[in-house]
Amino acid sequence: MKTKHVVDLTDLTHEELLSVIRLANRIRENPEAYAQACRGKILATLFYEPSTRTQMSFQTAMLRLGGRIIGFDNPQNSSVAKGESLKDTVTVVGGYADIIAIRHPSEGTAAAASMYSAAPIINAGDGGHLHPTQTLTDVVTLYNEMGTLENLTIGLCGDLKNGRTVHSLIKTMSTFKGNRFVLISTPELTIPQYIKDIIIASECSFTQVRSLAQAIPELDVLYMTRIQRERFGSEEEYQKQNGVFVLDKAKLKNAKKTMRILHPLPRVDEIDVEVDYDERAKYFEQTVYGMYGRMALIMTMLEKSDRTPAPRLRSTHPFSCSNPRCITQSEKYLPALFREAGGDMLLCRYCDSRTLI
């Protein structure tokens, strides 16, 4: 694999991604053959935010490969509670571990961590920004359940604004030709503009609708998501959005028999539990596909044991990112890094937000 770190799944080329998916399938078919594949290697899981699946599937993946694990799932039990910076934490842990999976509430954290860690960094979710290994989970599921990653009509429903799994999935599926995204949300929770721009620049297309019931008959895949309570400014704003979209048996009557229902989980109440017994529901199988996907990713990333820290970067512009959720807001030593986005617009290289200059 050419990339050392995986901040976004599009850091992998198509060929590399397909190779990881096929390796995941080979491991799933014959796990004993890989039981010592990472013997002597250590994975660190640095989780600054709660998790069930991502943290445990990373840990299980490494243990099933014969490796070992270290880390924290509550930063208050680490020296973060004493004020240690992200830079210092990943510099130190990058000296202990062979590979690091990091989750953090601030957008752009994995990109920032990759600048200081000698060990490869995997983004295990950075605020409302990206979640590439959930997308790996999703594409392993689609590859096996749909038999293709192209020419699919994919409905994404719920919190498209704050749902990092949605952003990552669209970014990756836009690189496969002929996919059509049906974006189902309230006007308050629509997809960020930069994600729309990515679809527009691709060989894919999208429509934005407000009714799940009306959209469902045309879908090959329905990707349900939770309203991300923790990203709202107030409980009142959250309550206005909660319960707007609920998938139940009645709505499924009009769906294709071949449609597949995915959800990154955790579920709150956006899928009725009765749906769990419908053969189109694949969200629990999805979690198992994800473990094999992570096993394949860890193995592939560790094949290249480059432990050289990245060269020091200097600020590209004399501005700060305007996104209040960007990691640069709390970790003030980070250089200001932007890409030109045309006109007076800059894109933050940590969180992808637009800043007007």
CB-based contacts of 297, cutoff 8 Å, min separation 6: 6, 20, 122, 133, 136
Smallest gap from Cβ 144 to ligand CP, in A, equals 18
Smallest gap from Cβ 105 to ligand CP, in A, equals 12
Smallest gap from Cβ 291 to ligand CP, in A, equals 12
Smallest gap from Cβ 24 to ligand CP, in A, equals 17
| Residue number, 51 or 117, with CB nearest to ligand CP | 51
Smallest gap from Cβ 53 to ligand CP, in A, equals 4
| Residue number, 89 or 228, with CB nearest to ligand CP | 228
Burial class (CB in 10 A: 0-12, 13-18, 19+), 301: buried
What is the rounded distance in angstroms from the CA atom of residue 51 to the CA atom of residue 22?
Answer: 27
Take residue 145 and report the two structure tokens written for it. 């359940």
Q: What angle do the packed helices 53-64 and 283-303 form, to 10 degrees?
A: 50
| Residue number, 204 or 271, with CB nearest to ligand CP | 271
| Residue number, 243 or 266, with CB nearest to ligand CP | 266
Handedness of CA 200, 106, 45, 55 (dihedral sign): negative
Smallest gap from Cβ 203 to ligand CP, in A, equals 28
The contact set with ligand CP (CB under 6 A) reads: 51-54, 125, 134, 264-266
What is the rounded distance in angstroms from the CA atom of residue 125 to the CA atom of residue 102?
Answer: 7
State the DSSP string of 175-219: TSTT-EEEEE--GGGPPPHHHHHHHHTTT-EEEEES-HHHHGGG-
Give the torsion through C-alpha atoms of 36, 94, 60, 76, to 10 deg: 150
What is the rounded distance in angstroms from the CA atom of residue 174 to the CA atom of residue 200?
Answer: 9
| Residue number, 135 or 185, with CB nearest to ligand CP | 135
Work out the number of other CB atoms within 10 angstroms of the CB of residue 15.
9
| Residue number, 36 or 52, with CB nearest to ligand CP | 52
Take residue 152 and report the two structure tokens written for it. 């699919």
Smallest gap from Cβ 133 to ligand CP, in A, equals 8
| Residue number, 41 or 294, with CB nearest to ligand CP | 294
What is the rounded distance in angstroms from the CA atom of residue 85 to the CA atom of residue 82?
Answer: 9
